[in-house]
């Protein structure tokens, strides 16, 4: 099921329609398809075993994704923010490769006789000029390979087959379903699974892609207004900065925006409530997924948001903090440490199964014998099947045999008016095995709260086993560029 067919269909059904806007240039689906086919030819002739992108998003990232698919060569967008030594290691693992983007840096870091290096401009120019021989790969192999962020040790090479990605696109979306005026603002980096899925889903829906390679809240708002954007996906940190900028009286006409989706990290409840008020005309969707599951596996849709916002029932209101219900093509279970299936409202590890779930790394498959993928995310389902996340399974604090989710402690801490952000981690304890420690960021224009006051707050709202044994204050918490809290870094703050 070659995912190249997605662009072929768009090119067949709507060759004259604009499919991509980037850096002032507009590309029709017909032009994109011709360039992707030309790129496929170049890729095949290069003898490359991978097509790597070392660059921000641009027309080249769209053409490389589809071109690699048509050629049947895995597409490997790389994180250009990595340190030289780490990036060199990845380049070594994918040689011989056709590398598009920052060729000077790539050449400096790793040289291989079989590599072909092309700048963004040269790649696009040659792709347009190349003559396609008319053949497409059968699409039985790997479409995309993404290196995980590798917070511990060497990054793993997560593999997504054509069949995984196509199952999501064909199963969850309707071809050509976007109205003529639809435009989606894509500002997720190209090496992130959400960035890949945005290109595939937009193309299949015939929704014009408006690329914003480098996010700032001002440029996001300006482009939204200029291109009359109707749909946008943001990670929580982006939404926080957009909301802040709008609060600073940045004027933009946001009337075109109909759908805002978010995901990629825990969305603070206060932030989403504020955003719902700031964008009253927009529908909100929360998407939950992982690289290994071809992105979205559960959704909290616009109706769920409205119901939660207007309900008097605390259980329904609480769903604003959930990630919604699994997609129709996904089976989802919560299991305990021994692999036993748990019931409603019991927290454990999230397991998923379905055609879009890869769960596969180049080195090994993480799937169980019967095809379930242990996500290492912790969570529980409520009585109506809404999924609530409770951090990574590895982040659970085990104190005296009791499992404590850091999230519940953090939620209590940030409810204190002087606390802007908080992170709870487990630290070694002779008495308990692990004990709770918290790092707290003090809110602007607020005095440092008394640590004892914070401990009492947690004890009273939760119970004594959740009470922090150590409290430290810091300027800010460490997040990666996608807004993921780096808990291991926080742990180090308590090491001495």
Partner 1 sequence: MKPGTRLKSTVCTTEVMVIRAGQGTIECGGKPMAEAAQPEGEPDAAHAGGTLIGKRYIDAAETFELLCVKPGKGSLAVDGVPMSTKDAKPLPASD
Which of 301, 374, 451, 478 is the binder for partner 1 (CB under 8 A)?
301
Which of 93, 126, 175, 441 is the binder for partner 1 (CB under 8 A)?
175
Shortest distance (Å) from residue 275 CB to partner 1: 16
Interaction of residue 285 with partner 1, rule CB under 8 A: yes
Query: x/- contact string, 66-105, with partner 1 (CB under 8 A)?
Result: ----------------------------------------
Report the alpha-carbon distance of residue 105 to residue 420 in Å, rounded: 39
Interaction of residue 387 with partner 1, rule CB under 8 A: no
Shortest distance (Å) from residue 138 CB to partner 1: 6
> What residues have CB less than 8 Å from 271, skipping those under 6 apart?
236, 239, 240, 243
The encoded tokens of residue 13 equal 């059904």
Interaction of residue 46 with partner 1, rule CB under 8 A: no
Which of 265, 268, 302, 451 is the binder for partner 1 (CB under 8 A)?
302
Closer of 322 and 405 to partner 1 (Cβ): 322
Shortest distance (Å) from residue 23 CB to partner 1: 22
Interaction of residue 287 with partner 1, rule CB under 8 A: yes
Report the alpha-carbon distance of residue 289 to residue 291 in Å, rounded: 7
* Angle, in degrees to the nearest 10, between helices 451-461 and 406-414: 120
Name 99's bridge partners. 52, 117
Shortest distance (Å) from residue 170 CB to partner 1: 6
Give the length of the chain. 496
Interaction of residue 272 with partner 1, rule CB under 8 A: no
Which helix or strand (DSSP H or E) is residue 310 part of?
helix 302-310
Interaction of residue 295 with partner 1, rule CB under 8 A: yes
- Grouping H, G, I as helix, E, B as strand and the rest as coil, residue 410 is helix
DSSP 187-203: -S-TTSHHHHHHHHHHH
Interaction of residue 323 with partner 1, rule CB under 8 A: no
**Are 158 and 145 a contacting pair, CB within 8 Å?**
yes
**Are 335 and 342 a contacting pair, CB within 8 Å?**
yes
In the block, tokens 């945005």 appear at: 198
Closer of 143 and 393 to partner 1 (Cβ): 143
Closer of 173 and 278 to partner 1 (Cβ): 173
- Grouping H, G, I as helix, E, B as strand and the rest as coil, residue 238 is helix
Name 284's bridge partners. 260
- From the list 36-44, 68-76, 296-304, 375-383, the region that binds partner 1 by CB under 8 A is 296-304
- 198-217 residues near partner 1, rule: CB under 8 A: 198, 201, 205, 207
Q: How many CB atoms lie within 10 A of CB 450?
A: 11
Closer of 229 and 436 to partner 1 (Cβ): 229
Interaction of residue 327 with partner 1, rule CB under 8 A: yes
> What residues have CB less than 8 Å from 337, skipping those under 6 apart?
348, 349
Name 288's bridge partners. 298
Report the alpha-carbon distance of residue 33 to residue 159 in Å, rounded: 24
Shortest distance (Å) from residue 177 CB to partner 1: 6
- 219-258 residues near partner 1, rule: CB under 8 A: 231, 233
Which helix or strand (DSSP H or E) is residue 458 part of?
helix 451-461
Shortest distance (Å) from residue 292 CB to partner 1: 16
Which of 28, 126, 283, 480 is the binder for partner 1 (CB under 8 A)?
283
Shortest distance (Å) from residue 376 CB to partner 1: 22
- 181-200 residues near partner 1, rule: CB under 8 A: 184, 194, 197-198
Q: How far is CA 414 from CA 270, 396, 407, in A?
A: 10, 19, 11
* Angle, in degrees to the nearest 10, between helices 29-46 and 59-71: 60
Q: Which residues bind partner 1 (CB under 8 A)?
A: 1-2, 5, 8-9, 12-13, 138-140, 162-163, 166, 170-177, 184, 194, 197-198, 201, 205, 207, 231, 233, 259, 261, 263, 283, 285, 287, 295-296, 299, 301-302, 327-328
């Amino acid at each position: 099921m070659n995912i190249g067919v997605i662009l072929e269909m768009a090119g067949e059904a709507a060759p004259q329609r604009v499919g991509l806007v980037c850096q002032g240039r507009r590309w029709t689906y017909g032009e994109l398809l011709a360039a992707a086919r030309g790129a496929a030819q170049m890729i095949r002739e290069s003898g490359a075993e991978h097509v790597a992108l070392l660059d921000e998003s641009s027309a080249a990232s769209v053409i490389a994704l589809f071109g690699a698919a048509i050629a049947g060569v895995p597409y490997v967008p790389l994180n250009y923010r990595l340190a030289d030594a780490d990036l060199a290691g990845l380049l070594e693992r994918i040689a011989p490769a056709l590398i598009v983007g920052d060729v000077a840096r790539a050449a400096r870091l790793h040289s291989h006789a079989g590599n072909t290096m092309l700048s963004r401009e040269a790649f696009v120019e040659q792709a347009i000029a190349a003559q396609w021989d008319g053949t497409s790969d059968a699409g039985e192999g790997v479409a995309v390979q993404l290196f995980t962020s590798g917070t511990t040790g060497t990054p793993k090479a997560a593999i997504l087959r054509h069949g995984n990605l196509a199952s999501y696109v064909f199963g969850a979306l309707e071809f050509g379903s976007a109205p003529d005026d639809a435009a989606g603002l894509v500002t997720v980096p190209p090496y992130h699974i959400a960035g890949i899925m945005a290109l595939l889903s937009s193309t299949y829906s015939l929704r014009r892609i408006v690329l914003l390679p480098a996010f700032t809240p001002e440029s996001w708002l300006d482009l939204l207004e200029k291109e009359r954007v109707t749909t946008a996906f943001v990670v929580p940190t982006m939404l926080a900065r957009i909301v802040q900028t709008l609060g600073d009286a940045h004027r933009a006409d946001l009337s075109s925006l109909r759908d805002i989706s978010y995901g990629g990290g825990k969305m603070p409840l206060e932030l989403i409530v504020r955003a719902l008020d700031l964008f009253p005309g927009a529908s909100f969707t929360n998407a939950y997924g992982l690289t290994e599951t071809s992105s979205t596996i559960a959704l909290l849709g616009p109706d769920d948001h409205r119901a939660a916002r207007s309900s008097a029932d605390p259980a329904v209101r609480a769903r604003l903090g959930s990630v919604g219900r699994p997609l129709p093509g996904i089976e989802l279970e919560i299991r305990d440490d021994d692999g036993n299936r748990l019931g409603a409202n019991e927290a454990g590890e999230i397991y998923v199964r379905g055609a879009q779930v890869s769960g596969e790394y180049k080195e090994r498959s993480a799937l169980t014998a019967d095809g379930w993928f242990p996500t290492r995310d912790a969570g529980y389902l409520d009585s109506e099947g809404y999924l609530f996340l409770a951090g990574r399974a590895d982040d659970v604090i085990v104190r005296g045999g009791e499992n404590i989710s850091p999230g519940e402690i953090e939620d209590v801490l940030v409810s204190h008016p002087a606390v802007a952000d908080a992170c709870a981690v487990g630290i070694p304890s002779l008495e308990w095995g692990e004990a709770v420690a918290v790092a707290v960021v003090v809110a602007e224009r607020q005095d440092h709260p008394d640590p004892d006051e914070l401990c009492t707050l947690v004890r009273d709202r939760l119970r004594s086993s959740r009470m922090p044994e150590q409290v430290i204050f810091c300027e800010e918490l460490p997040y990666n560029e996608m807004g993921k809290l780096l808990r291991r870094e926080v742990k180090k703050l308590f090491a001495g």
